[in-house]
C-alpha cells in the first residue's frame, strides 16, 4: 500500500516490504543500464520515487531512512512544503528569464540574502547552476582580479568534474584519468600542512607573487570528512595576506548551516576572499553561487555570464531554504549533530573496526579499517533501509537533511550498528 504524501514524512523508516532491490527497482535498473552513460557512479541499487523529510520511498514501496540527503543536497528535507510552495508559486509566475541579460528581481533578492549571510562584507554575488560552475567562475575571477596565473588546491580535495574544477580535484585519480592535459598552472599541497606551502611549493616550484588563489574546502568532503588542524586557517589567511593571494573557500558541501553555522569556515577563525556554495543552497533545485569581496568583482560586463544560472524557480527554492535554515534548522543541526556524534562514539567503543568519528554538526565521518570494510558497511546499511554514503578511502559520511529528528537519529544509529556487526562479525 502506498502512503499518502502527507504521511510519508512521519512514517516509520526503514520499512522494507520487498527484497532489496525489489522487482520494479530491478526492472528500472535494467532499463537504465541500456541507455545511460556508464560513467555514472551509482553507489547501490536505490530507485527512489518519492521523498518527504528524511524518508525516501522507492518504486516498490520500500521506505528508507535517508542520512545522506542526496550527497548533502536536500538540506531542508525531501519536498519540504514551504520549499515546494515557493517553487509552485514562482513556476506560476515566471519559469525563466536570463539574469545575464536582464534584471530579474528574484535574482537580486537571493544575492542580497547571500551577501547578508556571507562571512565577509561587503560582497557581490554571481549565481550558477551548480557547485562546479561556482568553482569555474571563482577561478576566472581570481585570475582576472589578481592578474596572476597559478592556483593552489589541496591533496584529497574535490571541487567538481568540469575541466577547471577537476584540475583542482585530487581525491581520486579516476576523476582525472584519461582527460589530460588538464588546466595548466595548478599545484597541490597537503590539507592541514603548515610547512609544505612555503618550504616546497613557494621555495622550489612557484613564486607566491604569481599565485592567484588558494582553493580549499574548510572540511574535506569527498576526501573523507577531514577537519583542519587548529590554527591552520588563520595561518592560510596570514599567508595569503602576506603575498596578495586570494583565499577561496569551497563550501559547496559544508555550507548552508550543515555544520551549525552558515559556513564551516566560521568555525576556524578566518574570512575568505571568495566563497563557493551549491548542493544544499536550494534544497535540491539546481543552483550554486560564488560570493566575493566587492572590490574583487570588478570585471566588466560580459566577462562572465550564464543563461540558466540563477533561474527564478531555483532562486525561489533558495530563498525558502535560507528562511527555514535560519528559523530553526541550523540549531537542529547542532543538536542532532551532537546526538549523532555521541551515539556514533558509543558504537565505535563497541566495534574496533571503527577507527574514528569526526565532524561538525550534521557533517560527520565514520572511519573504518580499510576501504573494503567501509564499502561493505555502506551496502549492509542499504540492505537494512538506511541510506549512507562512502567518501575518502575508508569513511562513511553522515550528512542527513537538517530536519532529522531525535527518533530518526536513534533509529539510524541502531541500524548502522547492526550493519557494522554484520560486516565485522562483532556483537552489537
Q: What are phi and psi of 128, to 5 degrees?
A: -125, 180
CA distance 403 to 269: 27
Sorted by where each starts, the structural domains of the chain and their CATH numbers stand as 5-79+328-424 (3.90.1150.10), 97-310 (3.40.640.10)
Section 61-84 average pLDDT? 98
Supply 219's cell numbers: 572540511
CA distance 367 to 74: 24
Q: What are phi and psi of 303, to 5 degrees?
A: -65, -25
Instruction: With residue 265 as reference, give the H or E element that holds it.
Output: none
CA dihedral of residues 403, 408, 413, 419 (deg, nearest 10): -110
Name the band, by pLDDT with cuts 50, 70 and 90, for residue 428: low
pLDDT above 50 (res 1): no
Q: Is the pTM of this model over 0.95?
A: yes
SS3 state at 228: coil
pLDDT above 60 (res 6): no
Supply 127's cell numbers: 549565481
Give the chain's end-to-end CA distance (angstroms, integer). Answer: 33
* pLDDT score at 2: 54
pLDDT above 60 (res 174): yes
Query: What is the per-residue pLDDT across 43-53, written as a single tens digit (0 to 9) for each?
Result: 999 999 999 99
Section 284-303 average pLDDT? 97
358: nearest Cα among 380, 407, 391, 382: 391
Supply 376's cell numbers: 561493505
pLDDT above 90 (res 151): yes
Section 121-132 average pLDDT? 98
Query: To the nearest whole number, what is the mean pLDDT of the chain?
Result: 97
**Percentage of residues in the chain with pLDDT exceeding 70?**
98
Query: What is the per-residue pLDDT across 218-264, written as a single tens digit (0 to 9) for each?
Result: 999 999 999 999 999 999 999 999 999 999 999 999 999 999 999 99
Amino acid at each position: 500500500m502506498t502512503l499518502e504524501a502527507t504521511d510519508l514524512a512521519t512514517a516509520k523508516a526503514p520499512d522494507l516490504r520487498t527484497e532489496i532491490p525489489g522487482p520494479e527497482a530491478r526492472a528500472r535498473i535494467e532499463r537504465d543500464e541500456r541507455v545511460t552513460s556508464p560513467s555514472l557512479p551509482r553507489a547501490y541499487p536505490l530507485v527512489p520515487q518519492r521523498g518527504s523529510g528524511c524518508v525516501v520511498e522507492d518504486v516498490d514501496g520500500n521506505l528508507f531512512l535517508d542520512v545522506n540527503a542526496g550527497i548533502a543536497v536536500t538540506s531542508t528535507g525531501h519536498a519540504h512544503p514551504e520549499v515546494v510552495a515557493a517553487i509552485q508559486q514562482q513556476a506560476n509566475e515566471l519559469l525563466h528569464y536570463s539574469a545575464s541579460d536582464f534584471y530579474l528581481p528574484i535574482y537580486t533578492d537571493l544575492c542580497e540574502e547571500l551577501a547578508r549571510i556571507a562571512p565577509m562584507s561587503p560582497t557581490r554575488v554571481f549565481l550558477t547552476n551548480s557547485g562546479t560552475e561556482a568553482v569555474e567562475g571563482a577561478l576566472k575571477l581570481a585570475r582576472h582580479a589578481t592578474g596572476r596565473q597559478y592556483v593552489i588546491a589541496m591533496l584529497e580535495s574535490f571541487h567538481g568534474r568540469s575541466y577547471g574544477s577537476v584540475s583542482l580535484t585530487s581525491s581520486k585519480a579516476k576523476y582525472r584519468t584519461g582527460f589530460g592535459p588538464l588546466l595548466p598552472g595548478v599545484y597541490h599541497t597537503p590539507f592541514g600542512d603548515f610547512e609544505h606551502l612555503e618550504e616546497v611549493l613557494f621555495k622550489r616550484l612557484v613564486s607566491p607573487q604569481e599565485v592567484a588563489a588558494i582553493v580549499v574546502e574548510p572540511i574535506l568532503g569527498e576526501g573523507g570528512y577531514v577537519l583542519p588542524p587548529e590554527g591552520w586557517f588563520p595561518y592560510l589567511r596570514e599567508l595569503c595576506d602576506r603575498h596578495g593571494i586570494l583565499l577561496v573557500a569551497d563550501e559547496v558541501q559544508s555550507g548552508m548551516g550543515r555544520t551549525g553555522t552558515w559556513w564551516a569556515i566560521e568555525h576556524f577563525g578566518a574570512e575568505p576572499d571568495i566563497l563557493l556554495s551549491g548542493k544544499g543552497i536550494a534544497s535540491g533545485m539546481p543552483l550554486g553561487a560564488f560570493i566575493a569581496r566587492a572590490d574583487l568583482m570588478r570585471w566588466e560586463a560580459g566577462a562572465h555570464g550564464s543563461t540558466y544560472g540563477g533561474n527564478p524557480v531555483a532562486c525561489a527554492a533558495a530563498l525558502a531554504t535560507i528562511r527555514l535554515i535560519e528559523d530553526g534548522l541550523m540549531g537542529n543541526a547542532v543538536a542532532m549533530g551532537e546526538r549523532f556524534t555521541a551515539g556514533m562514539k558509543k558504537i565505535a567503543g563497541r566495534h574496533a573496526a571503527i577507527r574514528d568519528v569526526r565532524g561538525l554538526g550534521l557533517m560527520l565521518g565514520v572511519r573504518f579499517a580499510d576501504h573494503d570494510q567501509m564499502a561493505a558497511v555502506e551496502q549492509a546499511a542499504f540492505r537494512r533501509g538506511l541510506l549512507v554514503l562512502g567518501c575518502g578511502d575508508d569513511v562513511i559520511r553522515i550528512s542527513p537533511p537538517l530536519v532529522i529528528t531525535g527518533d530518526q537519529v536513534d533509529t539510524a544509529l541502531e541500524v548502522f550498528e547492526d550493519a557494522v556487526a554484520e560486516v565485522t562479525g562483532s556483537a552489537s
